[in-house]
Structure formats: structure tokens, C-alpha cells
Amino acid sequence: MSIYKKGLGALIITTAAVSAQPAAAATPGLQVEILGVNNTLVRVTEPGKYILLPVQESNEDARINVLVDGKVEKTLNVRLAKSKVDYTVPFNIERYKGHNIVLSVITKQDRASVREAKDDACWSAIAVADTFDTTNREKFRPAYHHTPLYGWMNDPNGMVYKDGVWHLCYQWNPYGSKWQNLSWGQSTSRDLIHWDHQSDAVLEPDGLGMIFSGSSAIDPTGSAGFGKDAVVALYTSADASQIQSLASSPDGGYTYTPYPGNPVLTLSSEARDPNMFWDAKNNRWVLTLAHAIDREMLFFTSPDLKTWTLESNFGKGLGAQDGVWECPDLFELEVDGEGTKKWVLLCNINPGGPFGGSATQYFVGDFDGNKFTVDTLADGTVPTKWMDYGKDHYATVSFSDAPDNRRTVIGWMSNWQYAAEVPTTQFRSANTLPRDVALFRAPDGQLYMSSKPAPEVAGLRGKLALNVRGTSVGKTTKTYALPTANNGICEIVANFDTKKCKTFDIVLKNDAGEKVVMSYDARAHTMSFDRTQSGIVDFSRDFPSVTVAPTYEDNNKISLQIFVDRSSIELFGDNGRFVMTNLVFPNKPYSTIEVSARGGKARLENLKVYSIK
């Protein structure tokens, strides 16, 4: 349908409607001029909402300068399709209505002639359109976990609760399903389960760089000059350096305006992911910043979010150190049943997690407004503690200003080892279920952090599909059917007593022979999660794995709550005392659950399976 015309030295392709087409199918116009082997101009000749950019994931990024009335408005990096189109991404041009829009596209391909460049698949598929289809139809797209509408997502950012609304921003590439063009996307929810997605990024790369991770909070005194109770954000501007920038929200957290005086904090070493809270006692802000390569956290204070004083640093040589330190969070929690409070410092690390790649470690201690002091063991050493014992739990941080004294966290449900290779297309990555954290004292005398599903998650529970009560389980496997509607998504609840056996196994299986094996070891007091045969595992050698969690009990009685979505399993043990989050990509939904015990008999107090609403 394209018309090829010979221009003066350039090759012009127009995708304007061809006269024989019915009016409804008319494509609003674009004029594509191939200027040279690696340079093309795309002029918008008719108005519309989006330019649909055709992407081929295996291709290199093309640099697209978007010119509005002749001025560079933004620069995008897009893997424009060369030999085939994997999917398209929308570039919103409605916001430039009435202005002259030109894309100057610079590619990096090896080619002999301009004629070759014209054959790139993107030039026959690029189009102006008024709609972009974000319908959730990918097989592995979660049914009840937050995902971006399309495109790549990593860390949760700018999480704040205001006026009944949970604001969840996230590291987002609106122009492809791999890490690039880092912006903040945003979704909002009133119940932490149903999310409304904003179609445009709320912070986009600017002259200071891409928008890396950061946090948002309510400014209760108007200290930063944007008004009392204004939502403010701090984020890392990342280009050749990583510096910290401020933004304010004119509308209670839905949109953001970068502060004209940015950056507000610079260091000459790599530091990122600012996370702040208002310290009401001292009438100032406290900021934790990841001093990434130095593998420590820095603490700053400020009266107004614009001028910062370095107060202290923490972590050099402590905890897990086999990777960069990222995405901190610092908050106070009550100790269950003890009437006391302690501070927790979250410290995400990549690589260096317990099963390879990225993971969330934390430290328990005290914070006096200037300095964090970690609890040590009797011998003076600092134990390494992990928040989740799966492979797919990273960049976890909490919502600011959550109601009812809650501390609610959300993580990125993937791992830097293979996040860009997982078998999805139009989107990549989901978030964990929201979790409320607390501190508990384990039989070893130490304090650990529990993560239980946020109370709102109970609202997902549908019909009771299986109810097994009080049965003895030995080496003969007992098999029960799982609900297969809606791709097998379900919640499994199980309570078992293993005082009289060595191991208790729960296996989820499909009829393609794929399975996930979860085993409790009564002697070691550990739970393992084996996904080596869980389905598609060969996209990365780091994906097939067995992860193991300490269960922090000494009575061999375990309760499990397991959330199965289309490509993830989250196992919460003993009310969140141990948690394992692992992705799985079964070719068919798991259709049976098998239980058995080795080395004696186990008592299965109950096994319930619920469908998900």
C-alpha cells in the first residue's frame, strides 16, 4: 500500500491512504524520506493520536530525534524493525497537535546503499493511528499482578499513598520490551489489586538523563515550597553521571513536574535511587542513597529537599557484598508481641543474591535521625538476612504515608540475570503481590522481617475448588485436580505437621510433564522450590533453579499460602515468616497438585484450593 516516489536524491515513501481503499481503512499520512544508508526523516502529514513504531527486538537501537516545529523535543532509542516486526509501540503525538512533527531517525546498520535501507520492515509498517491495542492476550501475562500496559518495566518507584489512592510508579520503557528510555510510568489503585494505568510516562528523560529509580512522599509542612501536603519525588537523573533530581506533583501524585533547579544533589561517584521520609521530630527530611559501587548506603538530611547534608554512611563490608547496592529503604517497624520498635534498612543487591543475580537483603537496627546502627550477634558479627528466598524478588521498597501505620512493600518480580529474555513479548515483568511487613523473633533469638500478603489480597479469593481435611500422607502420592479455568490461576492453602516424617512434598504438574516441586525438610527446617522442570526454562542458563528458604520454626508444623498466576508462584510460609517468589513459564497450566511424604507419615491438616476472582 506504500507508494515509492523518487525524491531529489532521497527515496520518499508515503503511507497516505491509497484512493482505492475504503474511507474507514484510510491511514493518516506519514512521509518517509530515506536520506542515506543510516538516516531517515519521517514527517507527520495528517493528525492522529500515535505514531506506531514497529520494533524488532533483536535489532540494534535506532536513535529518533523528535522535532516539534524544528526543535528537538525528545530523543528515543527504539529497536526499529529491520527484517521482521515483533510488535509496535505507540509514540503519542496528540500532545503536539497543530505543530509540525518530524522524526529524524539515525540507525546503525551495515548496508551498501540507500535502496537497502528502504527495505527495512519498519518503513512499511510505521503508521499513524488513533488507537493502540493493549489488550491482555499474552499467555504469560499475569491475571492479577500489576504489569505495565506494554513495554519493559523494572523497579517500583515513587510509591505513595494519598487520599485513598495507592500511587505506584515504575521504571518503564514506553518504546520497547527491553531496558531503555527509562521513564516513570504510573498506575494507581484504591485496593492494591485493580490498577488504572496512565498511558503516558509521568517523568521522561530530559537533558540531565534518563529517569532512574526514586521515591515519593507527602510534604506535610510544605517545606519544599510546593505547598502543604504536596506530593514530592526524588529520583536519579542518569546519563554519564548519576545525580539526584527533585519533582513536585501539581495534582496529588498523578503527574510530576521536574524542579527547574535540578539537580539537587551531586556526588562524583555512582549514587542512586534516593529514598526519603519526613522526620517530624527533627523537622527535616532524611534521605537514604545507594552508594552503588562502594556497596554502602549514605544518609543525608535536608530542611527543604533542595540542600542536603551528608550525615553518615552504613554498610561497608557488611552483609552481602557481591554486587552493587541499590534501591534502599529505611523505616521503623514494631516487633510482633514485644511492644518495641526497631529500624529496618532494605538494601537491594545485584548480583550477589542467595541464588544468583539480584535479591533484597535487609539489616535490623536503630536509627537516631543521623546514623543507622545495625544489631550484631553475640560474637559481634552482622548476619546477612534476605527478604525473600526465591529468585524473582528485587528492588523492593515501601509505600510512603500508608494508612493505619502499615508498611506495605512491592517488589519487581524478576531477576537481572534474565529479565530481558523471559518468554513474553509486548510487556516484560510484573510486580509481586503487595505485602505488609513486620518484625518477629525467631527460635534462634534474632529478629527477622515477615512479609504477608497485604489484607487486600484476600479480596482475590474466589470459589473453594478443593477441600481436603485431616488426612495422613505417606510415600504413596495423593493427587488432586486444580481448577483449570482462567489458565489455572489459583490460591492454595495447606497446613501440615511433619513431626513423624523427614520430608513433605507438594508438586504442581501439568499433562505436558512439567512440574514445580516444593519440599519441606523437617530436619533442616527448610522449604525448597524446584522449577528446573517447570515449563520453558531454556531462555537463560540462570533460570532453571532450586531455591531454599529457612522456615524459622522449631515445631515442624507449617502453613502455606501459595499464589499461582500465569507465570509466577509466590509461596508465603507461616504467615509470611518465609517467602519464596519464583517465575514459571509452563506450556500448559498446572492441572494437578500431588502431596506425599518421605521418611514416615505426615499429617495434612487441610489442603484448600481457591479460584481467583
Positions annotated as catalytic residues are: 155
CA nearest 502: which of 485, 519, 489?
A: 519
- C-alpha 345/C-alpha 569 separation (Å) is 26
How many residues bind ligand FRU, per CB under 6 A? 12
Cα(257)–Cα(269) distance, integer angstroms: 26
Using rule CB under 6 A, residue 236 touches ligand FRU:
yes
CA distance 101 to 98: 9
| Least separation in angstroms between CB 290 and ligand FRU | 7
Of residues 333 and 413, the one with the C-beta less far from ligand FRU:
413
Nearer to ligand FRU, 81 or 420 (CB): 420
Question: Contact, 481 vs 592, CB < 8 A?
Answer: yes
- From the CB of 330, what's the least distance to ligand FRU, in Å? 16
Find the shortest distance in angstroms from Cβ 500 to ligand FRU: 45
> 79 or 577: whose CB is closer to ligand FRU?
79
**Least distance (Å) from ligand FRU to the CB of residue 530?**
26
Per-residue cell: 44: 507527520
Q: How far is CA 561 from CA 19, 21, 175, 400, in A?
A: 61, 56, 37, 27
> Which uninterrupted H or E stretch holds 118?
helix 114-118
Question: For the CA atoms of 61, 66, 71, 72, what is the dihedral angle to 10 degrees?
Answer: -30
Residue 162 vs 393, nearer CB to ligand FRU: 393
- Please select the residue that binds ligand FRU; options are 34, 64, 182, 612, rule is CB under 6 A: 182
Q: Nearest distance from residue 3's CB to ligand FRU, in Å?
A: 42
Residue 27 or residue 581: which is nearer to ligand FRU going by CB? 581
Residue whose C-alpha cell reads 559501587 in the numeric block: 293
For strand 101-106 and strand 62-68, is the pairing parallel, antiparallel, or unpaired? antiparallel
Quote the CA–CA distance of 259 and 244 in Å, as a whole number. Answer: 11
CB of 205 to ligand FRU, least distance (A): 12
Q: What's the min distance (Å) between Cβ of 237 and ligand FRU? A: 10
Integer-rounded Cα radius of gyration of the chain: 26
Nearer to ligand FRU, 13 or 271 (CB): 271
E strands, 303-358, are: 309-314, 324-334, 341-350
Question: Hey, which residues does 171 pair with through a beta bridge?
Answer: 184
For residues 118-157, which are near ligand FRU according to CB under 6 A?
Answer: 154-155
CB closest to ligand FRU, residue no: 212
Residue from 395, 430, 473, 612 touching ligand FRU (CB under 6 A): that is: 395
**CA atoms of 76 and 67, how far apart (whole Å):** 11
Does position 272 interact with ligand FRU (CB under 6 A)? The reply is yes
Please give the DSSP secondary-structure letter assigned to residue 116: H
* Other CB atoms within 10 Å distance of the CB of residue 249: 23
326 or 565: CB nearest ligand FRU? 326
Q: How far is the CB of 116 from ligand FRU (least distance, A)?
A: 35
Residue from the set 152, 195, 212, 572 that interacts with ligand FRU by CB under 6 A? 212
Name the region of 211 (left: φ>0; alpha: ψ -120 to 50; beta: rest).
beta
Q: Which of 56, 58, 57, 76 is nearest to 66 (CA)?
A: 76
Whichever of 237 and 596 has its CB closer to ligand FRU, that residue is: 237
Give min distance, CB of 326 to ligand FRU, in A: 4
CB 576 within 8 A of CB 428: no
Residue 356, Cβ density class (10 Å: 0-12 exposed, 13-18 middle, ≥19 buried):
middle
**Does the footprint of ligand FRU cover residue 213 (CB under 6 A)?**
yes
- Residue list 312-331, contact with ligand FRU (CB under 6 A): 326-327
By CB under 6 A, name the one of 273, 296, 401, 574 that touches ligand FRU: 273
Of 451, 608, 579, 549, nearest in space to 571 by CA: 579
Query: 228: which 3 cell numbers?
Result: 502543604
Is the Cβ of residue 30 or residue 419 nearer to ligand FRU in the bound state? 419
**Torsions phi, psi of 23, nearest 5?**
-55, -40
By beta-carbon proximity to ligand FRU, the closer residue of 270 and 605 is 270
Cα torsion 219, 222, 227, 228: sign: positive
Distance CA 329, CA 323 (A): 18
* Of the residues 27, 56, 59, 171, which one makes contact with ligand FRU according to CB under 6 A: 171
* Least gap, CB of 393 to ligand FRU (angstroms): 12
Least Å distance, CB 218 to ligand FRU, is 22
Distances (CA, A) of 509 to 390, 464, 465, 532, 533: 19, 20, 17, 13, 10
| Cα distances (angstroms) measured from residue 24 to each of 18, 20, 228, 314, 325 | 12, 12, 51, 63, 54
Q: Which amino acid is at 155?
A: D
The residue (of 277 and 325) whose beta carbon lies closer to ligand FRU is 325
In the DSSP assignment, the letter for residue 423 is S
CA 241 – CA 236 distance, rounded (Å)? 10
Per CB under 6 A, residues contacting ligand FRU are 154-155, 171, 182, 212-213, 236, 272-273, 326-327, 395
